[in-house]
Chain A
Amino acid sequence: MREQEGRLVASLAQQGISRRTFMKYCATLASMMALPPSAGIAMAEAMASSRRPSVIWLPFQECTGCTESITRSHSPTLEGLIFDAISLDYQETLMAAAGHQAEEALEKAIEDNKGKFVLIIDGSVATGLDGAYSCIAGRSNLELLKKVAPHAAAIVAMGSCAAYGGIPKANPNPTAAVSVSDIIKDKPIVNIPGCPPIPVVMTGVLAHFLTFGSLPELDKLGRPKAFYGETIHDRCYRRPFYDQGKFAKTFDDDGARNGWCLFELGCKGPITYNACATVKWNGGTSWPVESGHGCLGCSEPDFWDGGGFYKALSMPANPLKLAAGAAVAGAAAGVAISFANRAKKGAAKAAHETTTLADLEK
């Protein structure tokens, strides 16, 4: 094992991270994914091994926020380094090559690792005008995806755009953007939604794939259960204020200063499944709710069209347009019926024949 782990551990050591720290990290990662402790060791072994699985990263309709999140904001943390442990054979933003060279690298990586590489995609797939809205080297994303995907061992849809269509898909969706899973049906796909997603989630998924050669357990929306099993709300440190009915009403009132619940300011924590509240961001520094802003629900499908970021979840998503008209229509209907009723009653009265004794008999 020592032999095998040589390169990664050596590279870690160069950056001042001991083997012990690395093992501990793997154990934490395993526990975060609700795997048995032994899995931590297995992960460490697998990741440290000289096998460097090929990873091809294709950017589609995206903002590069996902790449930023993974590569830069956490550098030089372990996530970034583990990232180094893989053979990232194609990543436009990061690779040195450009133009035809880059395309050649892609072709080569596919050829060399047919059926074995992991395909990471960030960004949604534009399907309008045959995908012409988003092209690389004259090829539409749609075409590229259909070409590359069949050769991949598994696909990771990185970020909400790739996972669910994201912002490009937001109403009115001019590019007819869709998610990866809308196009590719016959490959294992793991969605790592978030805008951007939490880096450790990706590391965890990769580690799992490296260790067990399979994807972790997913929920109905294709997300790793280990990270998306609970809502922000349920894990939120401000939850007790919600339960007590203590809400910040504006962003600068006493409630806000006292750190009360942001539900009334539109926090989507209750309907958002993600690990922000536990893992936090920027190396555990903080996360949106801790910094005083409600959750936007970015890891949920169609979060952009969820009825306004600053509208409490229990409020109408849109202004009620029908109410006034309906009330008028109801009153009008009532009045119309009342006229009909009065006419009917009047007619019955007019037709009244005074009852005599004989009229009691049939």
Chain B
Amino acid sequence: MNEMQLLTWARGTGLDFAVGIFLLGVLWRLIEIYSLGRKKDLSAARQAAGASGWHTIFRRSVPAEGMLKKSPVSYIGGYTFHIGLAICVFLFAPHIKLIQSLTGLSWPGLPSQFVDLIAVVTIAAMVVVLVDRINKPVKRYLSTFQDWFTWTLTFLPVLTGWMAVQHLLLPYTTMLAIHILSVELLLVFLPFTKLFHAFTVFGSRWYIGTVNGHKGVAV
């Protein structure tokens, strides 16, 4: 298999399978999780929970009082790489083209040099959070194979994408193929690892927000 065939496979059959498994997994997991249901809360509400669930979905993105100082690397590193990832994934013109071809939706992208810079920052932030995971006793203690594995799954697309654009190590065609393959790997594993928090985070925040709203606790 030459580079072009690899790339074509990655863009064709590989992508087809990866997106298929991703969709299958996401729907399966979402239904598996949320169909468990929960009991209606019979206690009298202090106030109607109203939109507190939705509110919390946004509010939890902000560090709780005093926590930023306690865990600066987790927060700053976490913010940087999440926002960086979002920019690289959703605001790089070729990616938008891909999303448009899959969904029909499109929006303006950012200059590629800027995305390039963000990619470097994202890579740096991810390395920092990895080092933090190795160094911090709590994180190291909690970490299982999955934590290292999912870090790698997330890191590879950023690294290979950036290297492809920069023409590092391998010819662009090969690197692009590897980049696409790494994304496909990410798509395949996302629903079945902790990366699924990309979906369930909204449900989790909504649940705690609703419960807190019901009790009249700040959300």
Q: Is the A/B pair a real complex?
A: yes
For A342, give the chain B residue with the smallest CB separation.
B35
A245, B108: Cβ atoms closer than 8 Å:
yes
Which of A164, A220, A270, A326 is B176 in contact with, Cβ under 8 Å? A270
Count of A-B contacts judged by CB separation below 8 Å:
146
Chain A interface residue count, Cβ-Cβ cutoff 8 angstroms: 50
Within 8 A of B (CB), among A321-343: 321-323, 325-327, 329-331, 333-335, 337-338, 341-342
Task: Say which residue of A271, A305, A307 sits within 8 Å of B173 (CB atoms).
Answer: A271
Residues of B contacting A: mostly: helix
Give the residue of B12, B109, B113, B172 whose beta carbon is less than 8 angstroms from that of A317.
B12
* Interface residue? B76 (CB, 8 A): no
* With A231-B172, A245-B111, A314-B97: A307-B11 Cβ-Cβ less than 8 Å: yes
Interface residue from B11, B29, B172, B173 paired with A316 (Cβ < 8 Å): B11
What A residues does B173 contact at CB under 8 A?
271, 300
Q: Which residues from 91 to 140 on chain B have a C-beta closer than 8 Å to any C-beta of chain A?
A: 93-95, 97-98, 101-102, 108-113
Q: Does B15 contact A (CB under 8 A)?
A: yes
Q: Which of B7, B16, B23, B29 contacts A271 (CB 8 A)?
A: B7
Query: Interface of chain A, helix or strand or loop or mixed?
Result: helix
What residues of chain B lie closer than 8 Å to A270, measured between beta carbons?
172, 176
Closest to B30 in A: A334
Of the candidates A263, A305, A323, the one whose C-beta lies within 8 Å of that of B20 is A323
Given contacts A326-B23, A327-B23, contact A317 B94 (CB under 8 A): no
Count of B residues near A, CB < 8 Å? 46
Please state if B172 and A301 are interface contacts (CB–CB under 8 Å).
no
User: Once the chains bind, are A300 and B28 in contact (CB under 8 Å)?
Assistant: no
B5 in the interface (beta carbon within 8 A):
yes
Inter-subunit contact A245/B109 (CB<8 Å): yes
Residues on B lying within 8 angstroms of A by beta carbon are 2-5, 7-8, 11-13, 15-17, 19-21, 23-32, 35-37, 93-95, 97-98, 101-102, 108-113, 167, 171-173, 176
